[in-house]
Amino acid sequence: MENESQHSSTTPRDFTFQLLKQITNDFSEDNRIGVGGYGVVYKGTLDNGEVIAVKKLYYKHPGLDSDKQFQNECTNLMRVRHQNIVRLVGYCHEIRHKCVEHNGKYVFAMVEDRALCFEYLEGGSLDKHLSAYFCLSL
């Protein structure tokens, strides 16, 4: 697999959220390639022509330690090197403040943007292939 040998030794990059917005055309519907329980996946193309899958994670849910979950997932994905597991090429974890209206007053709210970036595999996700396979074999 050319893509695997070309990038297998690289350390995942720390992408800015602004760059991820740019390469996914502001997370446009045209670039959306999947939706899951933790976020939406978009196709993005880096300046060097490399196509990646950007999983923009949903905002945190109260009561969940999503910072720890994000850190664990990032750390585990950085360690894994296997031909059957999609490679992590980068991540984004940024905190910004946004002025919003709340109860008639303007306040600054903390907004946390998190994303995981993976190598892009042509042909869709494994679950689609498996469900198509099982439907055909019935």
Q: Which residues are annotated as a binding site?
A: 56
Q: Would you list which residues are annotated within the binding site for ATP?
A: 56
Closest by CA to 121, choosing from 51, 59, 45, 30, is 51
Q: Which residues pair with 56 in a beta bridge?
A: 40, 115
Q: For residue 24, how many C-alpha atoms fall within 13 Å in the half-sphere facing its CB?
A: 26
Residue 45 sits at φ, ψ, to 5 deg, of -120, 120
Please, what's the b/e burial string for 5-14 (b: 16 or more CB within 10 A of its CB; e: otherwise)?
eeeeeeebee
Query: Residue 65: enclosing H or E segment and its boundaries?
Result: none
